[in-house]
């Protein structure tokens, strides 16, 4: 018997399963492709699935290419705080921005794009990095009366972590399914993200807790 039963109103948020975060992509997360079959399997247990899609203009402020003398994985101080700089990735309408065709979740109900404002990054599916600009996802889930939020996808230490923390801040019960995520882990970011998630009250489980 699985330890956890998914309720009819629970929702699975599948974060940023896009070609640029998968092997061969411009910001590839190690082993990112390994979680695709697991996510497909988990998604079958949920009546409600939301996909997020990192979606940047070509001159996005999070790209190292936009900052003279800066390299990817260095940081800059922006109006809203410290920003990690990335290789160009998930440029809207590029192949790398597409959600992998290996994701097999025909019943997904919403694809939420984020990071489309040139001057503000958005790791979280709920709120942009200025911590002020909402994406609308809180209202969407609330209006549809969707319950506990489960989070999987890429990357654990950025978009998964921030999405989970912001879901908790919005008042949802939140669980991250650890083995259905993979991290980037730059400058200790993975350990920091798990600590911040624990601090926010985010539960951490393994897929076998649901699937067994």
**Of 42, 43, 120, 154, the one binding ligand VGL by CB under 6 A:** 154
Q: Is 159 a catalytic residue?
A: yes
Angle formed by the axes of helices 161-169 and 189-199, nearest 10°: 20
Of the candidates 29, 10, 13, the one whose C-alpha atom is nearest the C-alpha of residue 135 is 13
Determine which one of 10, 16, 54, 166 is catalytic. 16
Query: What does 167 interact with, of ligand VGL, Zn ion, none (CB < 5 to 8 A by kind)?
Result: none
Of the candidates 69, 77, 46, 54, the one whose C-alpha atom is nearest the C-alpha of residue 151 is 46
Stretch binding ligand VGL (CB under 6 A), from 67-75, 127-135, 155-163, 200-208: 155-163
Does 86 sit near ligand VGL (CB under 6 A)?
yes
DSSP 110-139: EEEEE--STT----SSSB-TTS--B-SHHH
Does 54 sit near Zn ion (CB under 5 A)?
yes
Site string for ligand VGL, 118-147 (x = CB under 6 A): -----x------------------------
Does 159 sit near ligand VGL (CB under 6 A)?
yes
Does 157 sit near Zn ion (CB under 5 A)?
no
Determine which one of 114, 121, 157, 166 is catalytic. 114
Q: How far apart are CA 13 and CA 129, in angstroms?
A: 19
Q: Is 16 a catalytic residue?
A: yes
What six digits make up the tokens of 52?
A: 């997020």
* Shortest CB 3 distance to ligand VGL, Å: 28
Q: Is 114 a catalytic residue?
A: yes
Q: How far apart are CA 143 and CA 1, in angstroms?
A: 32
């Amino acid at each position: 018997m699985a330890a956890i039963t998914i309720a009819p109103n629970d929702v699975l948020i599948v974060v940023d399963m896009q070609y640029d975060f998968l092997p061969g992509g411009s910001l590839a997360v190690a082993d990112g492709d390994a979680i695709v079959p697991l996510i497909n399997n988990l998604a079958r247990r949920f009546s409600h699935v939301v996909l997020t899609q990192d979606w940047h203009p070509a001159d996005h402020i999070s790209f190292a290419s936009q900052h003279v003398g800066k390299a990817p994985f260095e940081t800059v101080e922006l109006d809203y705080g410290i920003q990690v700089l990335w290789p160009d990735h998930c440029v809207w309408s590029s192949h790398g921005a597409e959600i992998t065709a290996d994701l097999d979740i025909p019943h997904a109900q919403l694809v939420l794009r984020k990071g489309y404002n040139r001057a503000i990054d958005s790791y979280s599916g709920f709120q942009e990095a200025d911590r002020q600009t909402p994406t609308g996802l809180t209202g969407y889930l609330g209006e549809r009366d969707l319950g506990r939020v489960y989070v999987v996808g890429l990357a654990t230490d950025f978009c998964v972590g921030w999405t989970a923390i912001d879901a908790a801040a919005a008042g949802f019960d939140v669980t991250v399914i650890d083995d259905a995520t993979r991290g980037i882990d730059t400058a200790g970011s993975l350990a920091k993200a798990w600590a911040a998630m624990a601090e926010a009250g985010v539960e951490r489980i393994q897929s076998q807790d649901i699937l067994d």
